[in-house]
A and B are shown apart, each in its own frame.
Chain A
Amino acid sequence: MAQPRPDTVFAPWDEPDAKPLIQFKNVTKRFGDFTAIDDLTLDIYAQEFFALLGPSGCGKTTLMRMLGGFETPTEGTILLDGVDIGPIPPNERPVNMMFQSYALFPHLTVWDNIAFGLKRSDMPKDQIGDRVEKMLKLTQLGKFAKRKPHQISGGQRQRVALARSLAKAPKLLLLDEPLGALDKKLRNETQFELMDIQETTGTTFVIVTHDQEEAMTVASRVAVMTEGKLAQVATPDQIYEAPNSTYVADFIGDVNLIEGTVEVQAKGAKPTDVSIKWSPTETPIDATSDTPPPAASTVTFAIRPEKVAISNERPEAANVMEGKILDIAYLGNISTYHVEVAPGLIIKAQATNNRRISRRNLTWEDHVYLSWTDTAGVVLTE
Chain B
Amino acid sequence: MRSIEELEAISRQLRIRSLRMIAKANSGHPGGSLSSAELVAALYFGVLNYRVGDPTWAARDRFVLSKGHCVPVLYAALAEAGALEDEELETLRMIDSRLQGHPDHVRLPYMEAATGSLGQGLSVAVGMALAERLDTENDYRTYCLLGDGELQAGQVWEAAMSGGKFGLGKLTAIVDYNKVQLDGYVRNIMDLEPLPDKFTSFGWHTQEVDGHDLRAILQALENGAAREDRPSMIIAHTVKGKGVSFMEDTAAWHGKAPTADELERAVAEITGTQAA
The answer to whether A and B assemble together is no
